[in-house]
A and B are shown apart, each in its own frame.
Chain A
Amino acid sequence: MKVSLDICRRQLNKFGEELCGDTVEVIYKEDSEIVILADGMGSGVKANILSTLTAKILGTMLKNGESVDECVETLVSTLPISKERQVAYSTFAILQVFHDGRAYLAEYDAPACLLIRDGQTVPLESSELEIAGRRIKEYIFKVLPGDTFVLMSDGVTHAGLGSVYPFGWGRTRVGEFAAVLSGNREMTGDRIAAEISGECDRLYSGCAGDDTTVVVSQVMARRDLSLFTGPPKSKEDDVRLMAAFMEMPGVHVVSGGTSATIASRYLGKPLRPSLFYDDPEIPPTAELEGIDLVTEGVLTLNRAVSLLKAYNQGDRSEAFYKQLDAGNGGARLAKLLIEGCTHLTLFVGQAMNEAHQAAGLSFDLSIRMQLVDRIARECREMKKTVAVNYY
């Protein structure tokens, strides 16, 4: 089975610091995804430089296919030595998940990565090797869709140290916390990362005692979503487009009145628009047997784009999720795109809606093409595989 890794992170800076001493680097390769978390010694600028160098060197070398041995040797001879402490030091963890399900994990002095499967933490077998005088823990195993990995800096395990917990939150408790969350179907990697980081912030009473980073990576089976919007330039292409569209596996969405009518004709099923307005600005959705979501066109797509954009800009507020979880077509489409799809295929008809052109509306309805481009761009930024077919 083809899998990919959905990688989400949260960071809290040590109280009073402008820079974070932890660095996360994510590498997308042809055959795998790699997550690197490095925690530089100390805090502030020095820690930031150490962890950035560590993560970047590891990332660049691994991307070029070099072995972990070579990476560590390079690190040891490259990292600047602290004047104060006479050591060059940054912990790191490397998680690599191949699209065929194999996985590789290497850790140097970092809190051990958590693997959560079916709502339980699963112990992983490791072997220890010594490279350039450093003891590295190495794990080789297989992943399953739904597996959740939690990589963290010690700022997470130390949260609440000396106040709520004598020795901090601790890896075991973090694992229990994450395992409970992962049992909830609504909990995506991003939401789990937000919950863990939020809990750290509470345990630190808003003043983190150390740089605190959590990276939640979820193994996703390939999930296809196909979106048909806009009638083809030539009517003869209606059938060709619909045949290709319906042949796609996974979720099918149709956006646009004329497009929905074409789909309804092709499928031989009635189109049943609802009159219920979840949001006064977005026209209601419709029911059509064989299609998972049928919406109006440009106004709905416009709403979806603004949600995708907010997500990419890092908005994870409660208000944002409330909007994303809303019942209007735009939110439903955005939610499917953000949380329910790894591969997006767009079927875009390029006919101009002459009725729209003639209607003299204040809102420019010919912007469908721009909206489609924006959807493709925002989804690519989320590292989804996007294909666009024009008709």
Chain B
Amino acid sequence: MTITICIGSSCHLKGSRSVIGRMDTLLTTHNLKDRVTLNGSFCMDDCANGVCVTIDEDHFSVSPETVDAFFEKEVLGRLNA
């Protein structure tokens, strides 16, 4: 699984750095680093809904406050499906 997080100007200002940091921590604590790749992107053309995140082809809007819920639902949900 590949998770891509936008680090463009707009998403940066909306907290992509802490989203990346938290995501990395969650992947480590769940021992998922070898199953999930974290990637950066410069812009996903949806700045109004940043922080933009994609899992494979699906788009999501994540904020530093919703990372944990997103991880629980979308990442773990898909991996365990």
Contacts and interface: CB of A to CB of B under 8 A. Distances in A.
Interface residues of A, number: 29
Interface in A325-346: none
A299 B12 CA distance: 9
A280 to B, nearest CB: 6
Contacts of A275: 5, 7, 20, 38-40
A359 B47 contact: yes
B54 interface: no
Contact of B40 (A256, A284, A298, A359): A284
B22 interface: no
B48 A359 contact: yes
A349 interface: no
Interface string A248-271: 000000001110110000000001
Contacts of B17: 277, 280, 283
B57 interface: no
A319 interface: no
A286 B9 CA distance: 13
B74 interface: no
A261 B13 contact: no
A273 B47 contact: no
A257 B5 contact: no
B55 interface: no
Nearest to A272: B40
B40 A257 contact: no
B9 A362 contact: no
Interface string A17-37: 000000000000000000000
A355 B39 contact: no
Of A256, A273, A297, A358, the most chain B CB neighbours within 10 A belong to A273
Given A274-B40, A277-B17, A358 B48 contact: yes
Nearest to B18: A280
B45 interface: yes
Contacts of B25: none
Interface residues of B, number: 22
Contact of B47 (A256, A272, A355): A355
A305 B65 CA distance: 32
Contacts of A280: 17
Nearest to A299: B9
Nearest to A264: B42
Contacts of A274: 40
Given A257-B42, A273-B42, A359 B16 contact: no
Contacts of B48: 355, 358-360
Contacts of A76: none
A137 B25 CA distance: 70
Contacts of A359: 10, 14, 47-48, 50
Contacts of B41: 273
Nearest to A260: B42
A296 B12 CA distance: 10
A283 B8 contact: yes
Interface string A87-103: 00000000000000000
B61 to A, nearest CB: 11
A257 B13 contact: no
A386 B42 CA distance: 28
Interface in A351-380: 353, 355-356, 358-363, 365
Contact of A365 (B7, B9, B42): B9
A365 B16 contact: no
Nearest to A355: B47
A146 to B, nearest CB: 37
B43 interface: yes
13 contacts: A257-B9, A258-B42, A260-B42, A272-B40, A273-B40, A273-B41, A275-B38, A283-B12, A283-B17, A286-B40, A355-B45, A355-B47, A361-B10
**Closest 3 A/B residue pairs (Cβ):** A273-B40, A355-B47, A257-B43
Given A275-B7, A277-B17, A296-B8, 17 more contacts: A257-B8, A257-B43, A260-B42, A271-B42, A272-B40, A273-B7, A275-B20, A283-B9, A284-B7, A286-B40, A296-B7, A297-B9, A298-B9, A353-B47, A355-B10, A359-B47, A365-B10
